[in-house]
């Protein structure tokens, strides 16, 4: 340990001196989600306008505080900010032209980070918050394993920002970086780790959707729950159900999974790999969830490829994938990441799990949505549309979609014709919009005289 302590002291650097290492034209990669650096970002943001030009800063799922490289450089004279997955912060910055999305399928992030074939995407400087060094000289990536290690190893300069509050999340795979593999250490200001505010109470429509999906989950299922109110609601319903011997293989570890553990629903006994452990790649949740993950050997923090690759998902029997979507058209094309041209989130792992779950023996993927939404003026719109909103991104192609669920029911679209898909979707729409959807389907020549609506 004394050897590591000496090396630790040699590599210590202040945030200000670390920020001075950045050169014009550099690509800077921030740690994913809650591992985004705080002190380094503040110091780098102070360099706006000091001669730095064309510095590309990339994040993944940006959380508070708002990055200083955005706040301090609204004219983008020094920095341009990019995000692999948009959050509310990224959306707002994007509205002002201060953030740009980098599209990818989430499981591919590990490949992009490691493969020389994609060296054009490697970072010059990588910085992430980590937990304190352990006796073996390792820094744990905590709540954001994702693709941190691969990016760090292939950067010109690798810097860790130590935060005493970062949970140590056991592996798994790729959950650490050794002191010999980094260039500098920042001892951070130990700000509390970002935690997600309590979710709003689910409405009646969300309750109905959740019940439709929980009815389809068998004992021994291996679960993936996406981001948002609905997946957490489903997790809480599972916790109060009679289901047993469930497993977890999910890119995100969410609050509801703690409830499932406390109700003895999760054993991971039936999984093909990482048996007896819940596999995940990052966590965004409450402090209670972070405390649960800290040094918990029943959970395995893993590189995102190991969790999200469709083949790894399909290896588990009864893989159940549950995700939200924003809109779907009558051809069953799904948009889960944009409102027209406005980027809302990203593809993330949704397509990974839709594909992987379908190829799992007994597996099912569910794309869930409330049938309507209100715009800022209070006008109601159908999420089921004749065609996707102009500019909307196809997140899940129609050939891949399996189950879709609204408060009006569920439908398995696999193997259905174009006519049958249109009929199934119209029957999931709010009754107030069904007649106009039928008329649109007729004009589009995807409605036959044998089609019908259910009432």
Going from the C-alpha of 96 to that of each of 100, 311, 389, the distances in angstroms are 10, 39, 21
DSSP string, 139-159: EE-TTB-BTHHHHHHTSSEEE
Cis peptide before 65 (omega within 30 of 0): yes
Distance, in Å, from the CA atom of 123 to the CA atom of 153, rounded to the nearest integer, reads 10
Q: Report CA torsion sign: 310, 311, 313, 317.
A: positive
Catalytic residue among 161, 251, 337, 407: 251
Distance, in Å, from the CA atom of 36 to the CA atom of 161, rounded to the nearest integer, reads 9
- In the annotation, is 251 catalytic? yes
Q: Is there a contact between 41 and 58 (Cβ–Cβ < 8 Å)? A: no
Task: Give the end-to-end CA distance of the chain in Å, rounded to a whole number.
Answer: 71
Pairing of strands 327-329, 384-385: parallel
Distance, in Å, from the CA atom of 320 to the CA atom of 111, rounded to the nearest integer, reads 25
Q: Is there a contact between 33 and 195 (Cβ–Cβ < 8 Å)? A: no
Distance, in Å, from the CA atom of 365 to the CA atom of 94, rounded to the nearest integer, reads 31
Is residue 81 left, alpha or beta, with left meaning phi > 0 and alpha meaning psi from -120 to 50?
beta
Q: Exposed, middle or buried by CB within 10 Å (0-12, 13-18, 19+), for 198?
A: exposed
Continuous segment of H or E residues that includes residue 422: helix 418-426
Which residues are the active-site residues? 251
């Amino acid at each position: 340990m004394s050897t590591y302590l000496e090396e630790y002291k040699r590599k210590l650097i202040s945030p200000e001196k670390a920020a001075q290492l950045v050169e014009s034209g550099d690509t800077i990669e921030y740690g994913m989600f809650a591992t985004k650096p705080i002190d380094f970002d503040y110091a780098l943001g102070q360099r706006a306008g000091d001669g730095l030009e064309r510095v590309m800063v990339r994040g993944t799922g940006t959380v508070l505080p708002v990055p200083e490289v955005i706040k301090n450089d609204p004219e983008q004279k020094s920095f341009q900010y990019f995000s692999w997955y948009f959050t509310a912060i990224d959306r707002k910055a994007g509205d002002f032209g201060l953030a740009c999305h980098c599209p990818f399928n989430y499981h591919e992030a590990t490949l992009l980070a490691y493969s020389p074939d994609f060296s054009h995407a490697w970072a010059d400087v990588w910085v992430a918050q980590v937990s304190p060094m352990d006796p073996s000289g390792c820094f744990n990536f905590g709540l954001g394993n994702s693709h941190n290690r691969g990016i760090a190893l292939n950067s010109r300069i690798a810097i860790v920002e130590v935060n005493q509050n970062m949970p140590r999340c056991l592996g798994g795979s790729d959950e650490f970086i050794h002191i010999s593999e980094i260039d500098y250490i920042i001892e951070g200001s130990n700000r509390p780790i970002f935690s997600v505010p309590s979710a709003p109470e689910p409405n009646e429509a969300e309750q109905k959707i959740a019940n439709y999906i929980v009815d389809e989950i068998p004992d021994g299922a291996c679960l993936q729950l996406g981001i948002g109110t609905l997946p957490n609601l489903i997790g809480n319903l599972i916790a109060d159900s009679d289901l047993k011997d469930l497993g977890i293989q999910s890119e995100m570890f969410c609050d509801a999974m703690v409830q499932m553990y406390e109700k003895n629903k999760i054993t991971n006994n039936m999984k093909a790999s990482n048996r007896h452990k819940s596999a995940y790649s990052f966590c965004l949740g409450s402090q209670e969830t972070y405390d649960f993950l800290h040094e918990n050997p029943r959970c395995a923090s893993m590189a995102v490829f190991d969790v999200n690759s469709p083949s790894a998902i399909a290896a588990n029997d009864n893989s159940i994938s549950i995700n939200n979507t924003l809109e779907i058209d009558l051809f069953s094309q799904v948009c889960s990441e944009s409102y027209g041209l406005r980027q809302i989130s990203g593809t993330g792992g949704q397509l990974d799990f839709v594909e992987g779950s379908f190829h799992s023996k007994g597996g099912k993927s569910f794309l869930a949505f409330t049938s309507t939404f209100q715009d800022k003026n209070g006008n109601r719109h159908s999420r089921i549309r004749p065609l996707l909103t102009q500019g909307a991104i196809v997140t899940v192609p129609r050939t891949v979609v399996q189950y879709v669920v609204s408060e009006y029911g569920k439908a398995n679209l696999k193997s259905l014709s174009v006519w049958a898909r249109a009929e199934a979707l119209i029957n999931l729409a709010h009754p107030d919009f069904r007649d106009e959807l039928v008329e649109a389907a007729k004009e589009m020549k995807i409605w036959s005289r044998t089609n019908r609506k259910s009432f």
